[in-house]
Structure 1
């Protein structure tokens, strides 16, 4: 397990992807990229015509490599919020260090770093060594030496690759929400909340009563604001951030395990402590 600092400095536990799983995902991605490269190259050659010079052919080769090497991870990770085809098969996902989803700028930095830093392309050009000798060596060394398994692109982009199948397991449902909030949650699109935020919310709810009162209130409000950006429709007015997170995580849990219906009160019995929120009165601040 590794600790990540989320929002106002609370350390959360994630399970970073290590060298083996990342290498397996990369191999699958490289195979797909090779196929896309060949398709792209042949299309460009067809557009250039049969009378293209050797310099033109070389230029088309470089353009094809750049388009595929940068475009493939950029498009995949941006559209799927951190998953290429290889990562999807390996159960991995890229998230920000604050637990939020990967954005376009992060995917761009990671894609550029993959080509010019992690696979060692500049080194091969300078030394004249074949690309296959150093393919991925700088990135592999960075992952092996990093406690969080981050390659050079992750260090530059402020991201981390996590084992999604482990981190997104339903786990134990938190305290069931208020019945009114439970009814609202059944109609809300809680499935759109990124896994990193759901994990952060679950970790926070399990530790919120151990934190300083002011820090807990600020962190809960900030995390509820981030979660609310991905949930629609908005909850009833005046809902406290803590209760909002309880409702969203409980409903996400219910959908992940596929059982229990809060509308008829069949949530599994909660056997944990039920302390009051260590802040202002319930409902004093809105989650939105």
Structure 2
């Protein structure tokens, strides 16, 4: 593990989602594999509905001797209901979700983070007929791999994206303070770290031991470069990046816990004072 120097270049800022009111939204786009699994679940369900309806239509047509023109019209209607109606109704009734998205914990939202409209869901469903069913998913997969938010063509045209709504719950644990940085961390200013950066550090440290050494080294350096501008004074020269990140996170967590305890104590005091005041008669 290399040590840090004073000439480290600043890391590129993390991309954020800014609304029209200049509000930063902490929305995490659903990863490509998650979207693939969700699409497969919905696709299998749609195929089951389609073939079930077709079998039912054939059975009815054989019993009633329906004209071939009516059968063809019924097939078109079934196709529209299954491949357009299903995604449209599911997104409207389930607030941007479908059966596959419910399983994978994802949801479709507008690019500004708001709920999707009917016209956006309709456009996504119509485009899915072309980019997913007509091309066996090749066009949708290619576009999702090229886009930074894993959006397909329908998302780009409708102005929507799929976000990861449900994530695995982790038991919060404060990392142990490295002994060699205890004195420095106690007097350092670590209160200016952005929330997204803290989340990235919390996600990196617990799984650092299981990561590939090269990836671990690169990610620790990137997090180091993103953290240094928000910490003062700088840590002692020669500090290991992971040791630095662990010290910053430990001290920030300790201060947040102390602040929360003080707020709760003050709230309890105020509640006790309110209960002690006699009611006016």
Q: TM-score if structure 2 supplies the norm length?
A: 0.51
Aligned to 1:51: 65
In structure 2, how many angstroms separate the alpha carbons of the residues matched to 1:91 and 1:165? 5
Which secondary structure state, in structure 1, belongs to the residue aligned with residue 26 of structure 2?
strand
Deviates more, 1:99-108 or 1:82-91: 99-108
User: Matched residue of 2:18: which SS?
Assistant: strand
CA contact under 8 A between 1:4 and 1:14: conserved in structure 2?
A: yes
Q: 2: distance between equivalents of 1:146 and 1:8?
A: 25
Gaps of 5+ in 2: 1-13, 173-193, 197-259, 264-281
8 Å CA contact 1:45–1:60 kept in 2: the answer is no
* Equivalent position of 1:143 in the other structure: 144
Deviations 1:147-201 (A, max 9, x none): 11111111111111011114999x9xxxxxxxxxxxxxxxxxxxxxxxxxxxxxx
Which residue of structure 2 lines up, in the alignment, with residue 93 of structure 1? Answer: 107
Count the aligned residue pairs: 166
Whether 2:13 is the aligned partner of 1:12: answer no
Residue equivalent to 2:159 = 158
**Residue in structure 2 matched with residue 27 of structure 1 by the alignment:** 40
2: CA distance between counterparts of 1:89 and 1:270? 40
5 Å-filtered alignment, 1:32-43, equals 32-43=45-56
Partners of 1:166 and 1:96 in 2: how far apart? 20
Residues in 2 aligned to 1:43 and 1:3: alpha-carbon distance in whole angstroms: 49
Gaps of 5+ in 1: 122-133, 172-204, 208-267, 272-288
Matches within 5 A, 1:229-244: none
Q: CA RMSD in A?
A: 3.2
Q: State the Cα distance separating 1:138 from its structure 2 match.
A: 0.8
- Give me the whole-angstrom Cα distance separating, in 2, the residues matched to 1:80 and 1:167: 21
Higher relative contact order (CA 8 A, sep 6+): 2
SS in 1 for 2:16: strand
Report the equivalent of 1:112: 126
- For 1:109 and 1:2, locate their aligned partners in 2 and report how far apart those are by CA, in whole Å: 27
* Counterparts of 2:158 and 2:144, CA distance in 1: 14
| 1:269 correspondence with 2:261 | yes
Structure 1 residue aligned with 2:78, among 64, 78, 95? 64
**Deviation at 1:47?**
5.6
Counterparts of residues 184-263 of structure 1 (less than 5 Å)? none
Shift of 1:119: 1.3
Report the alpha carbon displacement of residue 80 of structure 1 after superposing the two structures with TM. 0.8
Alpha-carbon distance in structure 2 between the residues aligned to 1:75 and 1:168: 30
Q: Could you say if the C-alpha distance between residues 107 and 51 of structure 1 is closer, same or farther in structure 2, counting changes exceeding 3 Å? A: same
Query: Which string of whole-angstrom CA distances, capped at 9 and with x for unpartnered residues, describes residues 213-262 of structure 1?
Result: xxxxxxxxxxxxxxxxxxxxxxxxxxxxxxxxxxxxxxxxxxxxxxxxxx
How far has the Cα of 1:44 moved from its partner? 4.0
8 A Cα contact 1:69 1:111, kept in partner: yes
CA distance in 2, matches of 1:38, 1:152: 27
How high is the TM-score relative to the length of structure 1? Answer: 0.50
Deviation at 1:55, TM superposition (A): 4.6
Note the alpha carbon deviations across 1:259-285, whole angstroms, 9 max, x for none.
xxxxxxxxx5377xxxxxxxxxxxxxx
Larger of the two Rg values belongs to structure: 2
Separation in 1 of the partners of 2:91 and 2:25?
23
Per-residue CA distance 1:32-55 (angstroms, 9 max, x = gap):
111211233344445655423445
